[in-house]
Amino acid sequence: MSPSGAQADVISLVTNTLARLGFLQSPSANLGELERNGLRAFQQERGLIVSGEIDAPTRRAIEEARWKLGDRILSFLPGGALQGDDVATLQSRLVEMGFDCGRVDGIFGSRTDLAVKEFQKSVGVKIDGVCGPATITSLMRLIKTVSGGAPTQLRDSAKRAVRGPALANKIIVLDPSSLDQDREITFDIAQRLEGRLIALGVTVYLSRSKVKDPSDIDRINLANESEADLVISFHTDNYKSAIAHGLATYYYGNESHGVHSVVGERFAALVQREISARTDLLDCRTHAKSWDLLRLTKAPTVRIDLGYLSNPGDMKRLSDLAFRETVVEAIMVAIQRLYLSAESDAKTGALKISDLRRAGIRRD
């Protein structure tokens, strides 16, 4: 059956973009296996779920990939921010030269607007925040003026150091899954962690209650409006085969843009190592992804997939309350290790909750 007019337009946009990016030899009017393979390669590079299907995140990524710096005039549009690879390239160049536009996320927000104006002021072009021919030409002519590490990485590390090792007064958002398959498990773990954190003086927000299930964008807005220091999202996985099992963690990273969350990557690695050291879950490693929750949340954000419900062994573990307590302790230690200096850090799996008092996280 031939695709409808709207479907045909989407397929044409997708295959044309894939061909231009080198994932297909030529555009096509159909979405056959060859095209799906190209789409899967694109999804893999972009840190999306590799399905070969044109889902909503993939459509957004395809739309963003259409744009290269210079294709259009870029500026800040309140309520309808421009998004695209051209914006990401602009942000990358600004960051390399030391202008603070925040995370390289391909979204032209107010912070990028300010960075563009600062750049325009420095090179003597009209200061209007509009990235047109004159501003782009100046960007192309200049070389990097910052050395010794990417400025965003240095800023992230500095912010973490300034906040110090004490957990008191930090803000952490806990985001349990709302899926029917794991909503009880993830909410229970989030509540157990919430209690531990509150006892240490942390301000904790749960992204949902037992009955209320906010949308993904509402969860992102909660994290951003609360000015969270850290966001932890709890999930499980499923697979068509019961053989798949194990623990995986995810942080924001986009290979095509060459960016990642420095603090998010460190925390994901700490969680991965601490849980793996305390349990017999298979270590499925940490991975950079550009899912909306990871990309659009301002604070370092990590998603934890606590096992496969399609695997009997993982399901048995997750049903065990003692196992959940072990997971919570591992996450607590990972949180503290995130804020400890390297000199104060301890061997993976060795630090205990009782040690955290000596690390200075209690107010008593």
- Quick check: 192 pLDDT over 70? yes
Distances (CA, A) of 317 to 41, 283, 314: 34, 15, 5
Question: Which tokens hold the place of 95?
Answer: 């960051």
Query: What is the model's pLDDT at position 72?
Result: 93
Q: Are 246 and 316 in contact (CB under 8 A)?
A: no
Closest CA to 250 of 237, 263, 269, 228: 269
70-94 residue pLDDT tens: 999 999 998 889 999 999 999 988 8
Query: What is the model's pLDDT at position 258?
Result: 72
301: part of which helix (H) or strand (E)?
strand 301-308
Closest CA to 232 of 263, 199, 201: 263
184: part of which helix (H) or strand (E)?
helix 183-199
218-277 residue pLDDT tens: 999 999 999 999 999 999 999 989 999 999 999 998 877 777 788 899 999 999 999 999
Q: Hey, CA dihedral for 258, 264, 266, 272, is it positive or negative?
A: negative
Closest CA to 223 of 292, 313, 321, 322: 292
136-187 residue pLDDT tens: 888 887 754 444 445 555 555 555 555 555 677 899 999 999 999 999 999 9
Domains of the chain: 5-65 (no CATH), 85-147 (1.10.101.10), 158-356 (3.40.630.40)
Q: Are 333 and 200 in contact (CB under 8 A)?
A: no
Phi, psi of 74 (to 5 degrees): -110, 135
Helices and strands, counts by H and E, the chain: 13, 7
Query: What is the model's pLDDT at position 124?
Result: 85
Cross-strand pairs, 247: 283
Contact partners, residue 123, CB within 8 Å, separation at least 6: 138, 142
Q: Are 237 and 307 in contact (CB under 8 A)?
A: yes
Question: Which tokens hold the place of 50?
Answer: 């590799």
